[in-house]
Structure 1
Amino acid sequence: MDLFEFNHDKEADVNSLPPAEKLRPQELRDFLFTSRRVETQVQSLLNIIEKKGVIPSLILWGPPGSGKTTLAQILSKLTGATEISINAVSSGAKQLKSLGEEAHNRKIVYGKPTVLFIDEIHRLNRAQQDVLLPHTEKGDFTLIGATTENPGYEINAALASRCRIIQLERHSEETLDKVLHSMQSDRGQTLEGLLNEDQVNLIKDLADGDARKFINLMTSIFDHLIENTNPISSDELENLLSDSGILYDKSGDQHYNCISAFIKSIRGSDPNAAIYYLARMLHGGEDPKFIARRLVILASEDIGNADPRALSVAVDVFKAVEVIGMPECRINLAQAVTYLASAPKSNRSYIGIDAALAEVKKSGSLDIPDSLKSARNHVAEKMGFGKGYKYSHDGRKGFQAQEFLPKEIRNQKFYEAGDRGFEKKMKEYLAWMRDEEK
């Protein structure tokens, strides 16, 4: 379980490594810092290593391909510690406890420190994170966790407080240029006259600051040029990008066009189209949490009380996406998407809250009827607050006619139930109940 075993094995066939691994910096001088702030933080860690021979526990937070694993490798190697690497997705509390005990024994018996690197540490549930806490506190191992999620939300406060947090950023175009230069040197190939500047910039945009994605995409370009020595046309480039599954641009037009088509397909009750656009986004690397969040919004905005279960379905799938992750959560998303697309639709709640907000902005804080005010003390009671209020449950139908809105807007209608799905039953119930007023 050596963290970077293949990098230490002098017999390893370097040419057999994936392109991104082959180009992974091995020394700090080659590391591509994403900001001056990160460089300063790392220099502080180097000072600690020089004085104490160890580093404090760390949480490396940043987007995919920003250098989290690479930085962990370099810092671990500088300490001379035993390096253990696991992925949170495939790790349980039992394994974490065992690793902690092994690290403790290694420290006591051999006096050798341990660095435990946990990729996607945010995938550990709270109970699993709690297992790490005593070993981190006692110094049995130095914890280095890598995450794409905000540690303030995803990491136990007790564990996070015992770690330094280093936030890495997306790579700039300048650092991606350095990556491209390294690739050309490593492969002995040049792009001069074969790929123009606009095409290279397009690939950088699609990579979205992810060095790993940029390397993988450029590898397909270089591989294509082994057999084809003519300049790459726009059509050829589009085909190469499409084959790489990277044509979907998470920060550009494809992102907005796809999510727009996705939402409109669900709103338009077309589960067939909705699941297609879901597949487009997932295949292009869209964050499933982003998709799930949009489903939660849509459930209330476009379905609402026509099917009150829709919101529960959307919230449940958001939780499932958080707990399970890709690729399995695609199934949860597909179930929710087809349910929401097939559900009856109503935007009455959405229209109602916007109309009420518009009225509040226009008329301000109108006086609430005295009967509805709280008679919380003798002064309020003396002023007549709460007087005349009718307790609804005392009515024959659980309803008693009275005025609830301020008198200035007494006849204003903000919400009116529609005629679709469950909302139709709500409308009928409200009409039946208010027959008492007649």
Structure 2
Amino acid sequence: MKSSYSILKYYIDEISKKLKEPEWAYKLRLKAAELYDKVPTPPWMPEDFDLEAFAAKAAQEEFVKPSEDQIPEWYKTILDRIGVPDIEQSMLAGVTVMVNENVVYEAQKRELRKKGVILKSLDEAVREHPDIVKKFLHRAQTPESHKLAALHVALRRGGTFVYVPKGVRVPFPVQAFFVITEEQLAQTEHTLIIADERSYLHFIEGCIVPIPAPYSVHLGGSEFYALTGSRLRVSSLENWLGEVVHVPVKGAEVHENAQLEELGVALGGIRIGMRPKIRLVGKGAKVSYNNIAFLKRRMSSWSGSTVIHEAPKTRSSVVNRSVMKDQSFEEFLGEIIVKKDARDVIGHQACNTLLLNDGAKNVTIPKLVSEVAEADLAHEGTVGRIGEEQVFYLRSMGFDEHEAIQMLTIGFIDPLIQDLPADYVRAIREIVKMTLGAS
């Protein structure tokens, strides 16, 4: 019987050779493979997970990046389906689309290049910008966390790299979309974003399956670094069709007087596991992490986050809002940890759940840990149904019951998405409406 390490090393060698990556990147993969059997198994890992089959799928795609005039019509159709405006006429800063694991198109505005912003595939960045990438890659998202984290580091391929130089403010959103088009596909892209000192960036990433897939695994990863005095906004939108297992691994660092604002919206799929670790490592660092999930049928979700306050005067806010129906299940684990060198700390987390019927189940587990007295930590949680009085009022205004439930559900999540571009707010609302109308 093959060992986990031998299985992983075989496919690591294959991936690394195709990517022509440097020795240091190859060694990161081998370290993760060595850890795979030593680290814990997360509760959201599928019980029937086949390591060799997953690794084979992660390694099998060819690395072909066509030129702009070679973009096929099926690709443009996918963009239309996920609501990305026509690339040539778009006012967006940049669009990077990755179908399966391959980056097939990149559109950059001239302004980005003039400002020195680097936007390219992570595979290219590993080779072309090792001085930057080596310093940050897998520092916030490490293989030691659990088996899926180790597996992602070992088989990482594709994804987006964004570097914003010191003092540069990008006045328009930069976007990346990841698309699964094949059944039984394992996707392991990695997003690495670095906002250097006093810079500003809003990054939007979307992950979709445009057609129902009986079984696919999305084991993407992301790392966000907000360096001294910077402000980094990240909005992640996922809309999965079919039996997709969505188990991304994420990490972030926020430095002195920097601010990270992260929003995640997860719609669809069959199994979701996502608990990022966010470290506040500099004095005055702030993080706002908001997550929205819509769970139906027999979907299972393990949500939450771990926020670690490592410096004085740091602030954190975590808000999780879930809409649940049918026989869906969610476990929210929210951790706020204050280290001994952190003073005058404020940390707040909230888990708000809207149950649309009997049978759906939510479990909330708050964990507040402080090594100092000068910490103000709080947790709040609510689980409830849509009020009959609210429905009655809307019906008296001429709406039917279904329309009333749609409006109240959208009103429940709207406070967290209102700062997104208008096109995205409309798209999320429409997807929620369609989901409420589905059985």
* Interval of TM-score (by shorter of Structure 1 and Structure 2): under 0.3
Q: Which has the larger share of helix?
A: 1
Q: Which has the larger share of strand?
A: 2
Normalized against structure 1, the TM-score is what? 0.25
